[in-house]
Amino acid sequence: MAEKIKMTAPVVEMDGDEMTRILWKMIKDILLVPYIDLKTEYYDLGLEQRNATNDQVTIDSANAAKKYGVAVKCATITANAQRVEEYKLKEMWKSPNVTIRAILDGTVFRAPIIAKGINPYVPTWVKPITIARHAYGDVYKNVEIKLKDGEKAELLVTDKDGNIKKLLVHDFAGTGGIIQAQHNTEQSIASFAHSCFKFAVDTKQDLWFGAKDTISKTYDHRFKDIFADIYDEYKAEFKEAGINYYYMLIDDAVARVMRSEGGYIWACKNYDGDVMSDMVATAFGSLGMMTSVLVSPDGAYEYEAAHGTVTRHYYNHLKGQETSTNSVATIFAWTGALKKRGELDGLAELSAFAENLERATIRTIENGVMTNDLYSLSSLSVKKKVNTEDFIREIVKNLKN
C-alpha cells in the first residue's frame, strides 16, 4: 500500500444525524482514511450530543471553523415538536445551520453536480446554476405576533438621543391578525455582495441578483443600491474575467432563469435562496447531487450537502431494510473541504486526491452504477441500481483505475 497523503492543518468535522450520519462513516472508512492521514477536529452535531451540551457543541464547532478556515458538515436534524418528543429534548434547539451561519456570516453557494445521463427537467439547462443565498436576517431573524381584534400595531424606532419615530403597521379593528418585523444590516448585505462578486470572479461566471424593489421601496431597494455601490469595486475584475453583473426584479429573474442555459451565479435574498435552491436542485435531478458551501467574509469555508438527513431511508435502515441513499453530495462536501485545505496549505497531493475522488464518483454514475434516486432519472441504456454501501465501494474501483 502506498503511503498515505499527509495533512498539516485539520478540517473541522461536524458529524450529524440519521442516514447521513451512516453515509458519513462509510465515506470516511471506505474513501478517505485508506488514502489520507486524515486530520480533523471532530464535533458531534448529532441531536443527542447537541441536547447533552445545551447546543454548546454547535457554537464550538462554528468557532473552530472560524479558527481553522475549513469545515465539513454532515446534515443534521432541525428540531421540531415531533423531534422534541422523539429525542426527549430539553428544548427545541435551533437549527445548527442557522447558528453556524449567524457566527460565520457569509454566503451559501449551492451548485448541482452534473453527470452524463442525468438530464435536468428543464432541457435548456446544460450548465450548472449556482445559487448564492444570503445567510442572514429577513424572515429567519424575525419577530412576529398574533393580534386580537381591536389591537393596533405600530413600528417604533428610538434613536441614540431617545427620539422616537412611529409608523402604523395596521389597525386591527373588526378582525384580529398577524404581524411580522424583519431586519437586515448594512454590514451583512455588504458582505453578501462582496462574497458574490468575489465568487463570480473566482469561478468566472456572470452574477445575477433579483429582489422586489418596486414593492419594497426601502428594504429591497437598499439591497439593490448596496450591490450597485460594491459592484463599482469589482468592475475592472469583471471586465478582465469577461463576466457581467445584472440586477433584475425577482419575477424577471425567475422568468429568465427558466429559459437560460445555466452557467451563472444567481444571488438571492435569504428566503428566495431557501426556496429557489430546492427548485433548482430538484430540476437538476436529485437533492443528492446538490453541493453547498458557506463562504464567510473573513475567508472561512464550510462545505456540506444541500439535502437533509434522509429520515425516510434511515427508518427503513433501522428496520433492517436495504437502502439506496445517494452519497454524492456528502462526498463532494468532503472533497470540497480537502481541496480547500490543500489549496490553503500548499498540499498539491491532497487537492489532486480530492479531484480524483470527484472524477471517480462521476465516472461511477456515467458507467451506469448508481443509487435508486438516479436510477429512475438516468437516460443511460445500461444501468444498475445498487445499495448505499455498494455505490461507495464501486467508486473505489474507479479510483484505483
- What residue ranges bind ligand NAP (CB under 6 A)? 75-78, 97, 287-288, 304, 307-312, 325-326, 373
Q: Which residue is nearest to Mg ion (CB)?
A: 274
Q: How many CB atoms lie within 10 A of CB 32?
A: 20
Residue 309 contacts which entry, ligand NAP, Mg ion, none (Cβ below 5-8 A, type-dependent): ligand NAP
Q: In the beta sheet, which residues pair with residue 56? A: none
Q: Does 272 bind Mg ion (CB under 5 A)?
A: no
Q: Does 206 bind Mg ion (CB under 5 A)?
A: no
3-state SS class at 267: strand
- In whole angstroms, how close is the CB of 267 to ligand NAP at the nearest point? 20
Per CB under 5 A, which region of 95-103, 271-279, 327-335, 350-358 contacts Mg ion?
Answer: 271-279
Judged by phi (left if over 0) then psi (alpha if -120 to 50, else beta), residue 36 lies in: beta
Nearer to Mg ion, 40 or 286 (CB): 286
Nearer to Mg ion, 307 or 341 (CB): 307
- In whole angstroms, how close is the CB of 164 to ligand NAP at the nearest point? 40
- In whole angstroms, how close is the CB of 179 to ligand NAP at the nearest point? 27
> Which residues lie below 8 Å from residue 82, measured CB to CB, with a gap of 6+?
none
Q: Does 278 bind Mg ion (CB under 5 A)?
A: yes
Could you give the CA distance from residue 23 to residue 332 in angstroms, rounded to a whole number?
A: 12
Q: In the beta sheet, which residues pair with residue 171? A: 152
Nearer to ligand NAP, 21 or 339 (CB): 21
Question: Are the beta carbons of 14 and 50 closer than 8 angstroms?
Answer: no
Residue 105 contacts which entry, Mg ion, ligand NAP, none (Cβ below 5-8 A, type-dependent): none
Nearer to ligand NAP, 304 or 389 (CB): 304
Among 138, 213, 220, 274, binds Mg ion (CB under 5 A): 274
3-state SS class at 11: strand
Nearer to Mg ion, 28 or 94 (CB): 94
Nearer to ligand NAP, 194 or 385 (CB): 385
Residue 326 contacts which entry, Mg ion, ligand NAP, none (Cβ below 5-8 A, type-dependent): ligand NAP
Question: What is the DSSP code string of 360-378?
Answer: HHHHHHHTTEE-HHHHTT-
Could you give the CA distance from residue 278 to residue 290 in angstroms, rounded to a whole number?
A: 9
Q: Does 213 bind Mg ion (CB under 5 A)?
A: no
Nearest residue to 273 via CA among 181, 195, 374, 362: 195
Residue 325 contacts which entry, Mg ion, ligand NAP, none (Cβ below 5-8 A, type-dependent): ligand NAP
Could you give the CA distance from residue 353 to residue 240 in angstroms, rounded to a whole number?
A: 31
Question: Are the beta carbons of 6 and 37 closer than 8 angstroms?
Answer: yes
Stretch (H or E) spanning 122: none
Q: Does 98 bind Mg ion (CB under 5 A)?
A: no
Query: In the complex, which residues of this chain contact Mg ion (CB under 5 A)?
Result: 274, 278
